[in-house]
A and B are shown apart, each in its own frame.
Chain A
Amino acid sequence: GEDVEQSLFLSVREGDSSVINCTYTDSSSTYLYWYKQEPGAGLQLLTYIFSNMDMKQDQRLTVLLNKKDKHLSLRIADTQTGDSAIYFCAERGGNTGKLIFGQGTTLQVKP
């Protein structure tokens, strides 16, 4: 089956690191994504990782992929109040162009 799960809420202090976790079920996933959604807005692509990679770093963002456990994480270093948003994990299955999204993790950054 196709399912993506995320914890619903994370609260951190400004300047700390945030780690948002995601698990997925489709072993044929080719790409995995992290999207950010601010209130009333669409989805902003933060980063993606190809399924044959273990890690990808992009400035303050680090993505770790454990394909054996089907676990994906997003680490945000030096979290800022502007990082407060909902973060969605998504997988792209096999040969389809369909993205399967998790429910989203609300990140609250306290000053």
Chain B
Amino acid sequence: EVQLVESGGGLVQPGGSLRLSCAASGFTFSSYWMHWVRQAPGKGLVWVSRINSDGSITRYADSVKGRFSISRDNAKNTLYLQMNSLRAEDTAVYYCARARGDYGDYEVAFWGQGTLVTVSS
């Protein structure tokens, strides 16, 4: 069974940093593109970033480019999102998600339960 468990969320002041982690199990982590998607309270889904299976390709939404960094450790089956220069508008539940099929840049088909990031003074 595919499992994705996010951690690292919490309260941070504007301008601060936070690193999210996503522990993956139940599949060959190193074979899949992985994503971060966020959802502000009561709002819609927003794609944040994705990374290919070996970590050599990364993509970011314009709203986070230059501030957020996605990475992965295939030996530890873990996905990361380093978030710097955080703003109030970054407040959201952050979901880790896995592509539908292996090696391809496919749709997201499996999601974690999310971790809440609150940016506030």
Are A and B a genuine interacting pair, yes or no? Answer: no
Interface residues of B (CB under 8 A from A): none
